[in-house]
Copies of this chain bind each other. A is one copy, B any other.
Amino acid sequence: MGTVQHVVISVDAMGGDRGPATVVAGIADSARKNPEIAFILHGPKAELEPLVAKRKELAGRVTLRDATGVVSMADKPSQVMRNGKGTSMWSALESVRDKEATVAVSCGNTGALMALSMIRLRKLPGVDRPAIAILWPSRNPQGFNVMLDVGADIKANARDLLQYALMGSSYARNGLELERPRVGLLNVGTEEQKGGAELKEAHDLMKAQADADGYDFVGFVEGGDIPGKRCDVIVTDGFTGNVALKTGEGTASLIGDLLKEAFAYSPLSRISSLLALSSLTRLKKRIDPRRVNGGVFLGLNGTVVKSHGSADETGVSAAVKLAFQLARSGFSERLAARVAARLEESDASAVATDAPSPQDAAGKKDAK
């Protein structure tokens, strides 16, 4: 007793729009709130050392890894795959590869981070396409829904979508504490005859596999269900998911600005906005994207949390909090076990079996 068992998070200090000082401020915020957390911080040691030294809450909680290269937002993924060695991003993934941490966090270039994660962490056996999952404010009691893929890949076939259902429901179980998540497949209508052949095939696979994978399949859902309460996990291809994500973000941001404008309109409305401040603050807290900051890369040997490039201290701290929750729950191992169990039990042609199987046992292992 007396000593705290630390959960170690690997953090890329570089590559965000606001530079390493913001990342260090963010992890200091996390360290202050959470005594269980410790960090391996990757970047140019000469630059990071004084930043860390200034934060007394980080004393004894940070291991520095010197990496002088930086992946910029303009770098192409293919370039980074060839020349990325020696960058802070590469180094942050290396800590997960070497099992020093199970989750890495980066604010850097999404495409480069996914490309490096693929070559350094490698895909889980049985996963053809890793996916990026995000949390979306919703009408459900847990306050958020999971949507994936939001842009790891622009395509997904029926079997990829089935894997997304497995990975997304595992994420919802560990990240949102939902024992049996409800999964929906995004389409343009809820009738079974709509959508293309690929979607119909995915629909039938997901329906057949639901019990074995430990989720309830609600069938086709529509865009309005992403912030809705019909399901907890929305499965779609990376093209559609990325457009939906950015449309929703853009619309929310437009409404926020129009709200500000409306309140600045007249002296009376300015006074009323002062009175309304606490109401608006509560609302902002509920839907502030900084507080749900973190796309999660699923389907790799290890988990990567991608923070927004423009994340401020609050955003970085939220991404670290998510990484901590996933690391402490043993999410990476649980998801790997689930994917492996399905792989053992079924080859590609037999995946739709409904018979009781070893997956039920794996299911219990994954459940809370």
Interface residues of A (CB under 8 A from B): 137-139, 151, 154-155, 186, 188, 194-196, 222-228, 236, 238-240, 242-255, 257-259, 261-263, 265-266, 268-269, 271-273, 275-276, 278-280, 282-283, 286-287
Cβ–Cβ contact A265 & B279, under 8 A: yes
Q: Is the CB of B268 within 8 A of A286?
A: no
Flag if A227 contacts B250 (CB, 8 Å): yes
> Is B282's CB under 8 angstroms from A262's CB?
yes
B238–A188 touching, CB < 8 Å? yes
Q: Which B residues are in CB contact (< 8 Å) with A259?
A: 259, 283
User: Which residues of B sit under 8 angstroms from A222, Cβ to Cβ?
Assistant: 242-243, 246
* A244 in contact with B223 (CB, 8 Å): yes
Give the copy number: 2
- Minimum Cβ distance to chain B for residue A184 (Å): 12
Partner of A249 from B196, B224, B243, B266 at Cβ < 8 Å: B224
Which listed residue (B155, B186, B243, B244) contacts A196, Cβ 8 A? B155
Q: How far is the CB of A260 from chain B (nearest CB, A)?
A: 10
Give A248's nearest chain B residue, CB to CB.
B251
| Residues of chain B within 8 A of A239, CB atoms compared | 188, 195-196, 240
How far is it, in angstroms, between the C-alpha of A283 and the C-alpha of B276 when the chains are bound? 15
A243 near B186 with CB under 8 A, answer yes
* Contact (Cβ within 8 A) B252 A251: yes
Q: Once the chains are docked, how many angstroms separate the CA of A271 from the CA of B275?
A: 8
Report the minimum CB–CB distance from A259 to chain B (whole Å).
6
Q: How far is the CB of A100 from chain B (nearest CB, A)?
A: 33
Q: Assess whether A258 is in contact with B286, with CB atoms less than 8 Å apart.
A: yes
Bound-complex Cα distance A228 to B228 (A): 24
Q: Which of chain B's residues has its CB closest to A228's CB?
A: B250
A224 B238 Cβ-Cβ under 8 A: no
- CB pair A247–B250 under 8 Å, yes or no, is no
- Which residue in B257, B266, B279 is a CB contact (below 8 Å) of A262? B279
Closest residue on chain B to residue A249 by CB atoms: B224
A246 touching B269 by the CB < 8 A rule? no
Contact A250 B226 (CB under 8 A): yes
Task: For residue A155, give the distance in angstroms from its CB to the closest CB of chain B.
Answer: 7
Residues of B within 8 A of A238 (CB): 188
Ranked 4 nearest A-B pairs via Cβ: A223-B246, A272-B275, A224-B250, A223-B247
Are B254 and A137 in contact, with the CB atoms below 8 A? Answer: yes
Selected from B244, B255, B262, B280, the residue in CB contact (under 8 A) with A243 is B244
Contacts of A283 in B (CB 8 A): 255, 258-259, 261-262
